[in-house]
């Protein structure tokens, strides 16, 4: 990997010596909590769940709050995205994400859940590093609506720098990488598939929706059977009425014939 403008991938070439190589340690934690508050942690988990459910069964790696090491031999060079997505990557479990072990596949999308303490880092520092390692799209979401104006922002990498994504017809921001539309509904972040306009759901929500659809289908089948039974009963009742009418008509004919015979005989 060559140099780029920030030198993040620069590797120093050292002269070979007989000294044994020192195995570097890349910690799996930076010692910081997953989220500043329960709300921020819950939103991180929810966004990860939404995207994992979207790409279930595909070669897409979705994770978050994982140390991303971007320069081999430099354990101090790392980022910790709240949520990130890597396409064409195995979705297996990892302790850390080392770019050089992943074929230098940088995240296609990063989403940061911004809080009071992370605002400066999310707005001023992380974008430069994400741009330097080639993160295609970068989104910021403030679930409290206190630290970002507007509370949802999107950026797309263009010529090595992030350019703001324009709001799509006042309906949120389009992620070309994810093929979804991100927007706020009652200050809550929601995502819609651009093709189907279906709302993304978590695994639990998807299971609930599936159960509701199954129940609705069963109820629909039961209602159809009841309608069919009612139709059969109406048909049977109509046949009975028709039979009764025929019998009554035949009885009346016989009565009239009998009456006519009696008059003729008299």
Q: 4-29, pLDDT tens digit by residue? A: 434 455 443 333 445 555 678 999 98
> Given this model, what pLDDT does residue 16 score?
41
Summary mean pLDDT of the chain: 88
**Cβ burial, residue 177 (10 Å; 0-12/13-18/19+):** middle
For the chain, the maximum distance between any two Cα atoms, rounded to a whole number of angstroms, is 144
Whether the pLDDT of residue 139 is over 80: the answer is: yes
Least confident range of 50-54, 75-79, 157-161, 232-236: 232-236
Length of the chain, in residues: 266
> Given this model, what pLDDT does residue 13 score?
37
Whether the pLDDT of residue 261 is over 60: the answer is: yes
CA dihedral 138, 143, 146, 150 (to 10 degrees): 50
Among 254, 253, 234, smallest CA distance to 242 is for 234
pLDDT digits (tens, 9 = 90+) for 200-221: 999 999 888 777 777 777 788 8
Distances (CA, A) of 56 to 50, 53, 60, 203, 214: 10, 5, 8, 10, 21
> Given this model, what pLDDT does residue 20 score?
52
């Amino acid at each position: 990997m060559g140099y780029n403008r920030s030198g993040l991938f620069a590797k120093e070439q050292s002269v070979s010596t007989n000294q044994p190589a020192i195995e570097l340690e890349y910690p799996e934690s930076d010692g910081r909590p997953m989220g500043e508050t329960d709300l921020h942690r819950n939103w991180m988990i929810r966004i990860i769940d939404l995207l994992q459910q979207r790409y279930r069964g595909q070669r897409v790696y979705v994770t978050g709050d994982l140390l991303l090491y971007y320069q081999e031999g430099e354990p101090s060079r790392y980022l910790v995205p709240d949520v990130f997505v890597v396409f064409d990557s195995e979705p297996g479990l990892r302790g850390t994400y080392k770019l050089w072990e992943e074929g230098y596949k940088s995240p296609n999308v990063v989403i940061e859940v911004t809080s009071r303490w992370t605002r400066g880092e999310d707005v001023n520092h992380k974008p430069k590093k994400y741009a330097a390692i080639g993160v295609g799209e970068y989104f910021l979401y403030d679930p409290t609506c206190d630290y970002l104006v507007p509370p949802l922002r999107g950026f797309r990498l263009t010529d090595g720098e992030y350019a703001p994504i324009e709001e799509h017809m006042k309906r949120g921001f389009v992620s070309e990488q994810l093929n979804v539309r991100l927007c706020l509904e009652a200050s809550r972040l929601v995502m819609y598939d651009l093709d189907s306009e279906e709302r993304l759901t978590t695994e639990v929500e998807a299971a609930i929706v599936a159960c509701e659809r199954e129940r609705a289908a069963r109820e629909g089948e039961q209602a159809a059977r009841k309608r069919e039974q009612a139709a059969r009963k109406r048909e049977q009742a109509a046949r009975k009425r028709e039979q009764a009418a025929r019998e009554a008509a035949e009885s009346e004919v016989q009565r009239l014939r009998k009456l006519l015979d009696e008059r003729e005989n008299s």
